[in-house]
């Protein structure tokens, strides 16, 4: 054992161990309440021995995190010692022994690097991970939340907002940014109070328990951006928008065939104004017609077929169409039935006045409804197709 405790300034318990403590001092110390001759746990004893062995061989005490000395995980032990130090649970004697066993540096001092900053970083990261192990995500962590780590409350919510702030000022390293981003539910901007709603409620972001209001595809802005970035990286991203040009062409053709903007809006169940901005430049924004349209509304407009004749398809009943076809068909019906014209008009379901004006050519236009009635009769009595 001799030599093991020969630190520069050995505490009493070391001298006691080595049998070098004066008898009177031993008795005096033993009488003190709570005095311990073996203040270290077996684990710390082993750690300290490995530490001393490392220092003896390497000549320094800058111990790497993955250091192993004589099969003992020294790096891990040192990390746990640093942790206990910043949490205030390290036995003072162990701190003393670590410094005492350090080599003398060029300033003739013995030092031990406690690395409080990186230790706090690791502790807070662990606290965040412990929270995630229960909730799966950091989303929905209440403000001011503390996580109990090694019996000590760690103000992890406060730390998170501090890290966001430091990130904004460019004070975080790339590794730190990567470590934070790897935490499930990490967000670089905290949800503003005004934007928060009850998590899981209908107006909330569908990424439960995110407390923000849903904005796009059922997600809040931050979650949507996150999903979009991930899907873009994975190559599975599909935009909700498509090129407007073919849709615009379709709408123009429908208009030429008698299905106007308002009729289209009613048929397709789309916004009439949206069709206007699809067709025309927007003077208010001094921009051209829209370059992109939502894929859902594009599909709805596309579903409205272009009629093959002016009065076919979805053309509204009161839309005027050229009377030429109707005149030919009505004449054929009258000739086939052979009776009075009034009877033919009745069979067609049109008034005498309408029938007469169509037949005599007084009307250049009829309504789509009249054209359809005449065509129905023509198909029924003349047994022919539409032409």
Site residues for Zn ion per CB under 5 A:
205, 207, 210, 212, 220, 223
- Cβ of residue 168: shortest distance to Zn ion, in angstroms? 20
Closest CA to 4 of 69, 77, 55: 55
* Closer CB to Zn ion, 212 or 311, in the complex: 212
What the block records as the tokens of 101 is 């066993």
* Closer CB to Zn ion, 10 or 140, in the complex: 140
* Closer CB to Zn ion, 79 or 197, in the complex: 197
* Closer CB to Zn ion, 23 or 203, in the complex: 203
- Cβ of residue 133: shortest distance to Zn ion, in angstroms? 21
Ranges assigned E (strand) in 123-273: 147-149, 152-154, 241-243
* Closer CB to Zn ion, 205 or 377, in the complex: 205
- Alpha carbons 344 and 164: distance in angstroms, whole number: 83
C-alpha dihedral, 271 to 273 to 275 to 278, nearest 10°: -130
Q: Find out whether 213 and 143 touch, Cβ atoms under 8 Å.
A: no
Cis peptide preceding 209, ω within 30 of 0 = yes
Residue 311 CA from chain centroid, whole number: 49
Region for 53 from its dihedrals, namely left if φ exceeds 0, alpha if ψ lies in -120 to 50, beta otherwise: alpha
Return the half-sphere exposure (C-beta side, CA atoms, 13 A cut-off) of residue 100: 18
- Cβ of residue 161: shortest distance to Zn ion, in angstroms? 17
* Closer CB to Zn ion, 11 or 221, in the complex: 221
The single residue listed with the structure tokens 């129905």 is: 376
Helix (H) or strand (E) holding 293: strand 292-294
What the block records as the tokens of 291 is 């370059």
- Cβ of residue 185: shortest distance to Zn ion, in angstroms? 9
- Cβ of residue 198: shortest distance to Zn ion, in angstroms? 13
- Cβ of residue 187: shortest distance to Zn ion, in angstroms? 8
- Cβ of residue 223: shortest distance to Zn ion, in angstroms? 3
* Closer CB to Zn ion, 141 or 247, in the complex: 141
Helix (H) or strand (E) holding 158: helix 156-168
Q: Find out whether 251 and 301 touch, Cβ atoms under 8 Å.
A: yes
């Amino acid at each position: 054992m001799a030599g093991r405790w020969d630190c520069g300034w050995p505490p009493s318990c070391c001298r006691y161990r080595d049998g070098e403590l004066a008898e009177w001092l031993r008795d005096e110390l033993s009488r003190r309440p709570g005095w311990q001759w073996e203040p270290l746990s077996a684990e710390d004893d082993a750690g300290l021995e490995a530490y001393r062995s490392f220092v003896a061989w390497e000549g320094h005490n800058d111990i790497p995190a993955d250091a192993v000395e004589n099969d003992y995980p020294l790096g891990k032990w040192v990390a746990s010692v640093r942790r206990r130090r910043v949490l205030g649970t390290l036995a003072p004697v162990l701190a003393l022994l670590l410094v005492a066993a350090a080599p003398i540096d060029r300033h003739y001092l013995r030092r031990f690097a406690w690395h409080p900053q990186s230790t706090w970083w690791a502790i807070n990261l662990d606290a965040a991970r412990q929270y995630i192990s229960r909730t799966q995500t950091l989303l929905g962590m209440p403000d001011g939340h503390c996580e109990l780590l090694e019996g000590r409350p760690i103000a992890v919510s406060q730390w998170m907002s501090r890290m966001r702030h430091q990130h904004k000022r460019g004070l975080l390293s790339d590794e730190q940014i990567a470590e934070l981003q790897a935490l499930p539910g990490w967000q670089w901007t905290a949800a503003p109070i005004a934007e928060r709603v009850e998590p899981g409620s209908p107006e909330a972001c569908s990424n439960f328990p995110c407390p923000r209001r849903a904005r796009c595809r059922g997600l809040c802005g931050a979650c949507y951006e996150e999903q979009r970035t991930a899907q873009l990286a994975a190559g599975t991203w599909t935009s909700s928008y498509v090129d407007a040009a073919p849709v615009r062409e379709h709408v123009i053709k429908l208009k030429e065939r008698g299905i106007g903007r308002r009729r289209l809006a009613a048929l397709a169940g789309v916004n009439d104004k949206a069709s206007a901005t699809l067709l025309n430049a927007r003077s208010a924004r001094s921009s051209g017609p829209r370059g992109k349209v939502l894929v859902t509304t594009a599909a709805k407009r596309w579903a409205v077929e272009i009629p093959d004749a002016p009065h076919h398809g979805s053309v509204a009943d009161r839309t005027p169409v050229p009377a030429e076809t109707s005149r030919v068909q009505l004449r054929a019906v009258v000739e086939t039935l052979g009776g009075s014209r009034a009877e033919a008009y009745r069979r067609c379901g049109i008034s005498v006045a309408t029938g007469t004006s169509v037949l005599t050519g007084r009307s250049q236009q009829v309504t789509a409804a009249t054209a359809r009635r005449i065509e129905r009769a023509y198909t029924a009595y003349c047994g022919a197709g539409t032409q």
